[in-house]
């Protein structure tokens, strides 16, 4: 009897650990937004002219959203996955024409003081769509098949379709809305593809490309790099059978790598100036003027570094409170954590976020339904990508890309989008025992 009652309960099967972690992160986020915006004149936490006041409204909204998501039948998300994708994609297409311009980017629908960024919601929609697609179609996995050019499209058809699901929103958001940060997030889905069978060679290929990209920017002399690569390739001949085919293959690899190196300079030269600068800042290229292009990262590091082991104490941070760190309530919220809570506090935040992500991975793996599993990996990948880039940029390990710290940063769109993202998964997970497909 008791079991039945539980089954009918709204919260039946809901993973409490995930919900509690989520709640903790949101509350901690709010406390830090309060600290970042805090000033003596506005102490009332309900003051909606202040960001912490507004964030309270966003949090209340998020709670309602979460509740609603749990109420709705899990099947709804599966059935309407493509619809979500299509509708939000349409909104993303329309927003540049209907929305109002904010800070040079046309990605917001505005309602008075509050604004919504449809691109944020593209994350969960893409996760749903990708889950739907991949749960029906298998990817050609493992490099079991010989690489034959004529079979390429046939074998990798599904992979291409899956990638298209990612590329389309990326392009729309990047090209039409000029929101690099929001667009680049979709790269995270590579992890999902990998889990679902994407050849590891592609990942290695991507990794090598990135390494070469960084190397050719760090090593000032392109020629030196090319020579060294030649030497390494030549050494490679010692370990392979010197058949014609292998030698041709090695030479092709070398030429490809050389192409990346040379291409890097070309790409770098054709980047937007501010993006070039961000890369310069990260890699320590050239003389970086800490008053100008290097300012953000330097100030962020100062704020975090000055926190010490135990931090300066809540509301005692001078760097974030007095606006030395730019965007200290949104993208650089982690600086407030670092300064006021020190190493202890910032480690706890990293660990808590990581815990939530690993929990989602764990839950995904126990799903019977591939849809739920793939969606779960989508959730974990997106959260991880945000965590990795956001914290990475504040501590100088990643270039500055304007994306929020999940559940922490100020902002309704991001909080709501992460909430929807996570709670759909929680709902799917709660439902796992009822799905016998």
Q: State the residues that interact with other proteins by CB under 8 A.
A: 39-40, 138, 141-142, 191, 194-197, 299, 301-309, 318-319, 321-324, 338-339, 342-343, 346-347, 350-351, 354, 357-358, 361, 365, 370, 377, 380, 384, 387-388, 391-392, 395-397
What's the closest the beta carbon of residue 14 comes to other proteins, in angstroms?
22
What's the closest the beta carbon of residue 340 comes to other proteins, in angstroms?
12
3-state secondary structure of 321: helix
Give the residue carrying structure tokens 């490679």.
Answer: 236
What's the closest the beta carbon of residue 407 comes to other proteins, in angstroms?
16
Residue number with CB closer to other proteins (172 or 357): 357
What's the closest the beta carbon of residue 168 comes to other proteins, in angstroms?
25
- For the chain, give the number of residues: 437
CA–CA dist 96, 99 (Å, integer): 6
| Under 8 Å between Cβ of 321 and 337 | no
3-state secondary structure of 52: helix
What's the closest the beta carbon of residue 164 comes to other proteins, in angstroms?
22
DSSP H helical ranges for 187-283: 189-195, 200-218, 222-236, 244-269, 273-283
| Under 8 Å between Cβ of 370 and 77 | no
Residue number with CB closer to other proteins (119 or 193): 193
Helices 412-430 & 333-365 angle (0-180, nearest 10): 20
CA–CA dist 207, 201 (Å, integer): 10
CA–CA dist 198, 194 (Å, integer): 4
Residue number with CB closer to other proteins (41 or 113): 41
What's the closest the beta carbon of residue 246 comes to other proteins, in angstroms?
28
Residue number with CB closer to other proteins (307 or 404): 307
Residue number with CB closer to other proteins (57 or 348): 348
Residue number with CB closer to other proteins (118 or 378): 378
**How crowded is residue 23: how many other Cβ atoms within 10 Å of its Cβ?**
14
Q: What is the 3-state secondary structure (H, E, C) of 32-45?
A: HHHHHHCECCECCC
Residue number with CB closer to other proteins (196 or 331): 196
DSSP character for 310? Answer: T
Residue number with CB closer to other proteins (40 or 287): 40
CA–CA dist 241, 108 (Å, integer): 58
What's the closest the beta carbon of residue 290 comes to other proteins, in angstroms?
10
Tell me the sheet residues that pair with 116. Answer: 109
């Amino acid at each position: 009897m008791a079991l039945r009652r539980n089954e009918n309960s709204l919260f039946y099967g809901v993973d409490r650990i995930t919900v509690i972690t989520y709640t903790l992160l949101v509350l901690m986020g709010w406390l830090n937004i309060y600290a970042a915006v805090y000033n003596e004149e506005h102490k009332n936490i309900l003051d909606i002219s202040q960001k912490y006041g507004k964030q309270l409204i966003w949090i209340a909204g998020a709670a309602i959203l979460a509740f609603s998501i749990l109420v709705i039948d899990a099947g709804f998300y599966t059935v309407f996955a493509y619809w979500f994708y299509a509708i939000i994609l349409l909104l993303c297409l329309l927003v540049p024409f209907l929305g109002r311009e904010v800070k040079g980017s046309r990605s917001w629908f505005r309602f008075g003081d509050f604004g919504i960024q449809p691109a944020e919601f593209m994350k969960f929609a893409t996760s749903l769509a990708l889950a739907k697609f991949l749960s029906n179609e298998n990817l050609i996995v493992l490099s079991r098949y010989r690489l034959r050019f004529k079979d390429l499209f046939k074998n990798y058809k599904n992979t291409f379709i899956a990638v298209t699901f990612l590329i389309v929103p990326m392009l729309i958001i990047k090209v039409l809305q000029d929101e690099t940060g929001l667009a680049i997030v979709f790269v995270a889905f590579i992890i999902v593809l990998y889990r679902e069978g994407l050849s590891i060679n592609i990942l290695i290929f991507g990794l090598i490309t990135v390494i070469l990209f960084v190397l050719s920017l760090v090593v000032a002399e392109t020629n030196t790099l090319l020579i060294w690569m030649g030497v390494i390739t030549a050494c490679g001949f010692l370990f392979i059978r010197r058949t014609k085919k292998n030698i041709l293959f090695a030479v092709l690899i070398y030429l490809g790598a050389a192409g990346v190196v040379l291409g890097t300079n070309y790409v770098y030269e054709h980047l937007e100036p501010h993006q070039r600068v961000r890369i310069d800042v990260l890699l320590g290229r050239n003389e970086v003027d800490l008053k100008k292009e290097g300012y953000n990262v330097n100030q962020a590091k100062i704020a975090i570094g000055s926190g010490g082991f135990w931090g300066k104490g809540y509301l005692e941070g001078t760097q974030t409170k007095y606006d030395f760190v730019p965007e200290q309530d949104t993208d650089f919220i982690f600086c407030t954590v670092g300064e006021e809570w020190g190493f202890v506090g910032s480690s706890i935040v990293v660990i808590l976020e990581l815990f939530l992500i690993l929990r989602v991975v764990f839950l995904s793996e126990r799903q019977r339904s591939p849809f739920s599993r793939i969606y779960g990996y989508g959730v974990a990948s997106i959260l991880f990508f945000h965590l990795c880039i956001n914290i990475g940029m504040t501590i100088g390990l990643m270039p500055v890309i304007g994306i929020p710290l999940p559940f922490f940063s100020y902002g309704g769109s991001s909080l709501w989008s992460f909430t929807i993202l996570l709670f759909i998964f929680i709902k799917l997970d709660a439902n796992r025992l009822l799905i016998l497909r």
